[in-house]
Amino acid sequence: MEIMPHYKQAMKALRLGDASGEWSPPSKLGYDILRIGGNSLFSELYSTFGLYNKLAFFAEDCPYFSKHFLRGAVSVTSVIIDTLKGDDPLTKYNQLSDMYQKLTDSIEHTLNYLSETTPKCPAQTGLKFSWNPMRGQDYYYSKIVDDMNLKIGLGEYSVGIYLPYEKQLANQYDVSLSTVRKALSELEQRGFVKKLNGKGTIVIEPDDTKLHQLALNSGYVEKALRYLHALQLMIFIIRPAALAAAARFTREELDELADRFTSPGSVHLADILEAILKHTTLEPLYVILSETNHLLEWGHHFAYYPSKRHTLSHLNKKAITALRQLYEGNASSFADGMADCYRYILICMKKNMVEKYKFHNVANIRVPEKY
């Protein structure tokens, strides 16, 4: 713990008391913890929250908040330090959950108080939550690759089928021909398609040798880790999202979902997630869910996974079980079931990457516990 950049500042704040040390030291310590955890998505999100949550205003400029949260309460820094020293994951989870729930409640009470005492304060407009983990990448090119991977992985473009002509794809995705060619070249490198002069681009059976060579590419390794990290994040965020959305599902929507499950090659989990997003009213949560789902690249990983049929079949059964819980009015079990689906994918894909492609550093990625 002592080697973390902001540990000493946090300990100083602990000695002086959080009211004197402000919120900044424990907040920065929290960032350190997430940064060294290995999943950069966690620390990126934490930093993004810091841009929007205005904690400095509440902790440093708002006496009402200080009175109800900072004073007479267990030190925030103390909770974080005690959590780091503990060994039991469930205890750690409960300690941090309690602390952030108290923080949330205190901010809500403070906002209500400010609303009552300053009624003429104009409403804030124009500030929308934004988080883009794909920043710095070629968005249009990546979108085409991911979409084509999805269609190949699910069989819409099966082996032996020719893809639409480059000009048709350019019109379909509203991009230039060069962007389409770059995407098709990437798919060919991955071993999913082959360009035949004068005929077009045909879908082929993935070649294990080519895939293994691709796996040795550092850029590919980075993408694979990002994919597993996105699964790790989704396990955490899908439960509260599913729980919040559960009450908004109508019987007609549930019946429609069940009907869609009869389609061959369907990924039931993707259908349910789409419905959950539709009923996610909290804008930040919607953005985080959407962006995390973009990172998952369903089709790409199922397309080269040797046991994809068995894995997809088992995953679909888990998704059906989760939906059945929602049918029966068990929102909590439905949310747990959704998290279990992503947990299952992480376990399977992690095992495949370690055993088949020898990504031994993947073995250190933990599968989040179920609490």
In the predicted model, is pLDDT for residue 303 greater than 60?
A: no
Q: How does strand 200-203 pair with strand 193-196? A: antiparallel
Instruction: Quote the pLDDT of residue 70.
Output: 59
Which of 86, 117, 148 delimits the end of a domain?
117
Sign of the alpha-carbon torsion through 219, 226, 341, 132: negative
Report pLDDT for 299: 47
pLDDT per residue as tens digits for the range 183-203 = 898 888 877 899 998 889 999
Confirm whether 25 is domain-assigned: yes
Does some domain include residue 371? no
Euclidean distance between CA atoms 343 and 335, whole angstroms: 12
- On whether both 356 and 296 belong to a single domain, the answer is yes
Task: Please tell me whether residues 216 and 357 are part of one structural domain.
Answer: yes
- Please provide the average confidence, as pLDDT, over all residues in the chain: 84
CA–CA–CA angle 199, 200, 204 (5° rounding)? 105
- 3-class secondary-structure state, position 170: helix
Q: Region 344-367: what's the mean pLDDT?
A: 85
Encode burial over 31-52: b for 16+ CB neighbours within 10 A, e otherwise: bbbbbeeebebbbbbeebbbee
Mean pLDDT of 335-339: 98
- Residues 370/337, Cβ–Cβ less than 8 Å: no
- Which of 117, 151, 174 is the last residue before a domain boundary? 117
Helix (H) or strand (E) holding 73: none
Q: At what angle do helices 177-189 and 139-153 cross, to 10 degrees?
A: 50
Q: Which domain holds residue 37?
A: 5-117
Residue 280 domain-assigned (yes or no): yes
| Contact by Cβ (8 Å): 65, 113 | no
- Shared domain for 218 and 351, answered yes or no, is yes
Collapsed DSSP state (helix, strand, coil) of residue 131: coil
Q: What is the pLDDT of residues 84-98, one digit of tens each?
A: 888 888 998 898 888
Q: What is the pLDDT of residue 33?
A: 84
Q: Which of 111, 101, 17, 100 is nearest to 64 (CA)?
A: 111
Note the pLDDT of residue 307: 64
Q: Is residue 37 domain-shared with residue 166, that is, in the same domain?
A: no
* Shared-domain flag, residues 247 and 338: yes
Based on the structure, what is the number of domains in the chain? 3
Q: For residue range 274-298, what is the model confidence (pLDDT) as tens digits? A: 999 999 999 999 999 999 998 886 5
236 and 342 co-located in one domain: yes
| Residues 187 and 216 occupy one common structural domain | no
Enter the pTM of the model: 0.81
CA separation for the pair 40, 252 (Å, rounded): 40
- Residue 130 in any domain: the answer is no
Task: Give the model's pLDDT for residue 272.
Answer: 96
Residues 218 and 181 in one domain: no
| H or E stretch at 26 | helix 24-36
Highest mean pLDDT among 85-99, 118-132, 241-255, 290-304: 241-255
Render pLDDT for 207-239 as a digit per residue (tens, 0 to 9): 666 666 666 665 677 778 888 999 999 999 999
